Structure 1
Amino acid sequence: MRLLERVTGVRLVGADRGVWHRLMATRFVAETGDAAGFTALVLLLSRATDSATQLSTLLAALVVLDAVVTPLCGSVGDRFDRQRVMLLACGGGAVCYAGMFLAADHVWVVFALACLSTVFESLYFPASNAALPRLRPEVNLGSLFAAFAQVGTAGGLLGPALVAGLSLGAGVEWALLVNALSFVLAGVLVASIRRAFGPGGSEEPAPDGDGATAGALPASDRRHVLVRFPVLWSFMGLWAAIQLGTGAMWVLLPLLAEHLGNAELTYSGLNAWSVVATLAGMLLVTRLATRVGAGTLLIRGLVAQALGFAVLAAAAVLLGWPALGVALAALLVHRGGQALTGASSYELLAESVPDDSRARASSWVDFATIGSFGLGVWMAGPVADAAGLAVLALVSAVLVACSLVAARHLVRVAGRHQFASRGT
């Protein structure tokens, strides 16, 4: 476990170390099972559908459902005890995926249960993210979210590998059962943590320059979270701008793999390299978070993402090994930048909203993120067909670069709405 602390950059002592290890294990188990379950679901749906259009329609329906229910589920995490919400989500997800395993030959039953499971997962993650500052108030938030992103990314890499192994023997449907068991294990780990998950507590707003408190609100304020905290519009605008460009990666990578040759092997390799690049970026974040402000990390991350897309445009016009080398370098820069952007923006969000509203705030930012990502994916196809991969990559670079304007505004606004991350 000492190795875990060295890798994540988070140092704890005594009983805190045990809580931290269980938190990390919970996220790793949840992300591994989620990645395995989703991979198996896509494979099962692709077998049962007659065309790529049908498959994309079913997957798009899950994305739309996720975007719609996430804000509603976020309000649950601020209204009820977050530990109980997470336990409810784990139980519901386990039942759904166990049912999908038993009904693997009936595609519409599988799809219906996948929709229901999406609701439970939308309950789990906003409550989990909102609880982190309460469970570990003494840890730098940038390091905290970066560490969780590290283990989540590792789980995202292990999940598809489990599906690949199962497909060689028992069958991909067994990955659905693996995900059901991961929900159970995650629930056991969550239940074992004897700490207050929130909401509520004694958080105090950080003092403003004139001695007043920035963002202080009466406890009885029942206005909508987007009205109470206008800073959330800046977060939503930032992520909408980022995801419009980043969504193109779903279309760009498989088409680039075809351009490079041996599409299946190349695409798998590019995805694996993307995970490695993301992990490298997270390691960098944990080292920089205590020395560099979240706003600075956010700006640097966006610059790296835009630069990565611009370099991918060069890979799209080259051939052979030079093109592959340029593509790998571009993904290293882009995915590393994504790591900086993600961790720093979560830190800014956690500091800009008090504990009793964090789950709802996170869910509305997720709503903007998911919706814009889907729009970016949808827009990428026509651009690639009409103008080619190089133009698509350059358009994405410009869109991400434009988000720098929103990022600079966000950093200024968030600085006036800082809440301490402690609370009991």
Structure 2
Amino acid sequence: MPDRSASGAWALLRGNAGLRRLTTARIVSFAGDALSLVALMLHVAATSGQAIAVAALLLVGDVVPAVFAPVAGALADRFDRRRVMIGCELVQGAALLAIAATLPPLPLLLVLVGVRAVAGQVFQPASRAAVPALVGPRDLETANAALGFGTNGAEALGPLLAAALLPFLGVPGVLLVDAASFGLSALLISRLPALPPDRAGAAPTGLLADARAGLGYIWSRPALRIIALGFCAVVAANGVDDVALVVLGTDDLHASDSAIALMLAGVGVGLLAGYALLVRGARAASTTVLLVAGFAVSSLGNLLTGLAWAVAVVIALQTVRGLGVAAMDVASNTLVQRLVPDGLLGRVFGNLYGAIGVSAAVSYIGGGLLLDAVGAPLTFVLAGAAGTVASAAVAVTLPGRTRDPAPS
């Protein structure tokens, strides 16, 4: 495994062809995903005329795959991770091709979207588990920050690309562009070295047994248990923020559509700024401190948003909140990569992010009910307060339980 130091993300990417290819592959496919999501939402809205149909599309794409997270992680720990990633990209591309060629009725469309989403769910733990095999331990924070900056930037660019391409290509053409992005991503990943998981000494077991072992491993390790519970609690508290921002802007601040769009964009701007800062300075702080700070800043940002009196204040607070979201993403990935043996990394990542997906669904449902009951300002205050309490609990219980080496 290479163990080179790097002064920043650009130096690391220039000197590490494997990380460069993986990062480029993720940027390409994330941009394609964001592009096709806009096209599919518009298509479903136009052909069904029902908001519930669009909601079903989002549910199948974002939440349902979380159910398969334990098995997805087990697959990433059972086979060569490069081959797993290539196979997942090809399956996703094939599903997009089928949708583009037929534009099927809603039930079949949801099935195909579900197939694509499940393949993406398998890809994610394999790609996160591959990072420690491509970079040295001291470069993990920088590598994770570079991946986060690239993928989130691509997601932000996707809707703009959709706006530019839809008038010329239509929905089928845009979906074909996304299918091609998966093909290009698979080609880039095929140039990575072999990435077999280290299962030395592990007795042969079945896939479901592997999945159960992954769940048990998280629960049996105090540091991982605290990280997982803290992350899920913060997401369950704060996940409703996008919906709440629309209600806050409309009902309480009486903002224009453009102003509400800027409020929603604030966290994305902060997210990119956070990753940009972390690619240069992540190693200057303890990763445990970075995680707790990320939890706290993302939660306090929502709490204070509930007290905001103007659109500009909301935008500023949500931008700062984005800094916290970037910190918690980079720190959690890095800590897991350092704490977990290679042969279990896929399962831990699969279960962690599957649980986070379920927490987001809980937040959507519970937060929606809370919004109807008490309104947006109090919802933000209560959600942010709950996230802050969870952050404080992690701050008290996590330090000393991690093998987080001091920066040098």
Q: TM-score, normalising length from structure 1?
A: 0.85
Instruction: Give the fraction of aligned pairs with identical amino acids, expressed as a percent.
Output: 26
Q: Is structure 2 residue 238 aligned with structure 1 residue 252?
A: no
The answer to whether the 8 A contact 2:294-2:323 is kept is yes
Q: 2:195 pairs with 194, 197, 208, which one?
A: 197
| Cα drift, residue 196 of structure 1 | 3.3
Residues 48-59 of structure 1: pairs in structure 2 closer than 5 A: 48-59=47-58
| Cα drift, residue 263 of structure 1 | 4.8
| C-alpha distance 306-197 of structure 1, shift in aligned 2 (>3 A) | same
Aligned residue number for residue 384 of structure 2: 397
| Cα drift, residue 243 of structure 1 | 0.8
Aligned residue number for residue 75 of structure 2: 76
Alpha-carbon distance in structure 1 between the residues aligned to 2:42 and 2:8: 33
Alpha-carbon distance in structure 1 between the residues aligned to 2:267 and 2:167: 25
Residue type at the aligned position of 2:9: G
| Cα drift, residue 244 of structure 1 | 1.0
Q: Is structure 2 residue 128 aligned with structure 1 residue 136?
A: no
Between structures 1 and 2, the one with greater helix share: 2
Q: Is structure 2 residue 37 aligned with structure 1 residue 44?
A: no
Aligned residue number for residue 11 of structure 1: 11
Aligned residue number for residue 151 of structure 2: 152
Residue type at the aligned position of 1:238: G
| C-alpha distance 414-149 of structure 1, shift in aligned 2 (>3 A) | farther
Report the aligned-residue RMSD: 2.5
Alpha-carbon distance in structure 2 between the residues aligned to 1:165 and 1:181: 17
Bigger mean CA offset, 222-231 vs 5-14: 5-14
Q: Is structure 2 residue 226 aligned with structure 1 residue 234?
A: yes
1:349-385 superposed Cα distances (whole Å, 9 cap, x missing partner)? 1111111110110000011100011110111112112
Residue type at the aligned position of 1:290: R
**DSSP 3-state at the match of 2:142:** helix
| C-alpha distance 95-125 of structure 1, shift in aligned 2 (>3 A) | same
Alpha-carbon distance in structure 2 between the residues aligned to 1:345 and 1:247: 17
Q: Is structure 2 residue 335 aligned with structure 1 residue 337?
A: no
Aligned residue number for residue 265 of structure 2: 272
Aligned residue number for residue 225 of structure 1: 214
The answer to whether the 8 A contact 2:304-2:317 is kept is yes
| Cα drift, residue 72 of structure 1 | 0.9
Alpha-carbon distance in structure 1 between the residues aligned to 2:50 and 2:95: 26
Q: Is structure 2 residue 175 aligned with structure 1 residue 180?
A: no
Alpha-carbon distance in structure 2 between the residues aligned to 1:383 and 1:149: 31
The answer to whether the 8 A contact 2:19-2:143 is kept is no
| Cα drift, residue 387 of structure 1 | 1.0
| C-alpha distance 258-157 of structure 1, shift in aligned 2 (>3 A) | same
User: How many pairs does the alignment contain?
Assistant: 391
Q: Is structure 2 residue 297 aligned with structure 1 residue 298?
A: no
Q: TM-score, normalising length from structure 2?
A: 0.88
| C-alpha distance 183-61 of structure 1, shift in aligned 2 (>3 A) | closer
The answer to whether the 8 A contact 1:250-1:377 is kept is no
Residues 343-422 of structure 1: pairs in structure 2 closer than 5 A: 343-408=330-395, 411-412=398-399, 414-415=401-402
| C-alpha distance 235-299 of structure 1, shift in aligned 2 (>3 A) | closer
5+ residue gaps, structure 1, are 203-217, 420-424
| C-alpha distance 408-221 of structure 1, shift in aligned 2 (>3 A) | farther
Residue type at the aligned position of 2:146: A
**DSSP 3-state at the match of 1:407:** helix
The answer to whether the 8 A contact 2:249-2:311 is kept is no
**DSSP 3-state at the match of 2:236:** helix
Bigger mean CA offset, 297-306 vs 125-134: 297-306
